[in-house]
Amino acid sequence: MNYEEAMNFIQNTSKFGSVLGLDNIKELLERLGNPQDQLKVVHIAGTNGKGSTLAFLAGIFRESGYRAGRYVSPASFCYEERFRINEENISKEDLCFYMEKIKKISEEMVRDGMSHPTMFEIETALSFLYFLDKKVDVVLLETGMGGRLDATNVVKKPIAVIIASIGMDHMQFLGDTIEKIAAEKAGIIKEGCPVISYNNQESVNEVIKEKAKEMHCKVTFVNSEGIRVLSESLNGESFSYHSSDGRWYEKIEIPLLGRHQINNAALALEALNTIRNYYCISEFQIEDGLRKTIWRGRIEILEKDPLVICDGAHNPDGAKSLLNFFTK
């Protein structure tokens, strides 16, 4: 299979639509040897801020000498950026290799009377195969939509679950209230795993607390009162943070713009504190990783004179964050 054939295959699967449910992806992964069960996974759900929080964590892991697999969707600039190890996209050769493997299994499933895997199911399976073969140290796994019935929700024992900011989006699939949406997002919480959450409105926090309690999980929320903004400019944000476990970060600098990115960085710090036992990461590496984080298309300045900004806000809360940046 060459690159054109691989792209034709994946694009043709769009006709199968977006299907919420886990039966098909479980069958596909079973036939592929369940690669997801052999990976250390940090699973992240939320309406906004998933990708930014993931990018902050990836920056810290990179600067600490670890190989972090990153699975995100949708892609912003090229298809291959959905599957990354640190800042390097999957090669076209590797993409073709895994697409061909999954295509054969998909055809077998259809012959056996099952539904053809959807585009997102195929991409999710591909990410697990790729990251396992490349021996990454951690997989930063972003849900596609929702959580409970999302194709990524096949990971049985994540080392941590992160819930980012939750707002109104995809209501036709996830529910018509923010509490219903929160319940779908919280569906990725697994038995006994640590949960780290953005400090959402109280009714959302209660939904997350209840799910964590049901699954016997400790839940940690971002300490919003522990954030002190030091400076804001077109070059980035600077803040100090007193974490929920008493750690003091005197000065954190991030290149991503907007007050909301400070909250996302604090969420990444809380997540890192939770999984420290798995990795050896110094305070300097944390600061360096955050300062060097790369995440394009999020209030990204393309030109300063005149000011030209690229941003992917696509729901009410995202639009509010963009507006707040211009009116602060």
Question: What are the tens digits of pLDDT across the range 259-313?
Answer: 999 999 999 999 999 998 899 999 999 999 999 998 887 778 888 888 888 887 7
pLDDT of residue 174: 75
Q: What are the backbone angles phi and psi of residue 163, rounded to the nearest 5°?
A: -115, 115
pLDDT for 169: 66
Which DSSP state fits 227?
A: E
Give the pLDDT mean for 78-82: 94
If DSSP codes are grouped into helix, strand and coil, which group holds residue 1?
A: coil
Q: Pick the residue with more confidence: 312 or 173?
A: 312
DSSP 229-286: EEEEETTEEEEEEE-TTS-EEEEEEESS-SHHHHHHHHHHHHHHHHTGGG----HHHH
What count of residues does the chain have? 328
Q: What's the whole-number mean pLDDT along residues 209-238?
A: 95
Mean pLDDT of the chain: 92
Distance separating alpha carbons of residues 315 and 328, to the nearest angstrom: 20
Lowest-confidence segment of 50-59, 68-77, 95-104 by average pLDDT: 68-77
| pLDDT band, very low/low/confident/very high, at 7 (cuts 50, 70, 90) | very high
Average pLDDT over residues 148-177: 86
Contacts of 117 (CB under 8 A, 6+ apart): 13, 16, 24, 25, 28, 102, 106, 109, 125
In this prediction, what percent of the chain has a pLDDT beyond 70? 98
Measured CA to CA, the distance from residue 5 to residue 16 in angstroms comes to 18
Top CATH class, 3-297? alpha beta
The phi, psi pair for 228, rounded to 5°, reads: -130, 115
pLDDT > 90? residue 75: no
Mean pLDDT of all residues in 242-250: 93
Query: Furthest-apart CA pair in the chain: how many Å?
Result: 61
> Residue ranges per domain, the chain?
3-297
Predicted confidence at residue 322, as pLDDT, reads 72
**pLDDT(170) > 70:** no
User: What is the model's pLDDT at position 131?
Assistant: 98
pLDDT of residue 173: 64
3-state secondary structure of 48: strand
Q: What is the mean pLDDT of residues 105-130?
A: 96
Is it the case that residue 317 has pLDDT exceeding 80? no
For residues 42-50, give the mean pLDDT. 91
pLDDT (0 to 100) of residue 171: 61
Low-confidence winner among 61-70, 136-145, 298-307 (lowest mean pLDDT) = 298-307
Query: Is 33 a residue whose pLDDT tops 80?
Result: yes
Helix (H, G, I), strand (E, B) or coil at 22: coil
3-state class (DSSP) for residue 69: strand
Where do we find the tokens 């929702």? 146
Of 134-138, 175-179, 202-206, least confident by mean pLDDT is: 175-179
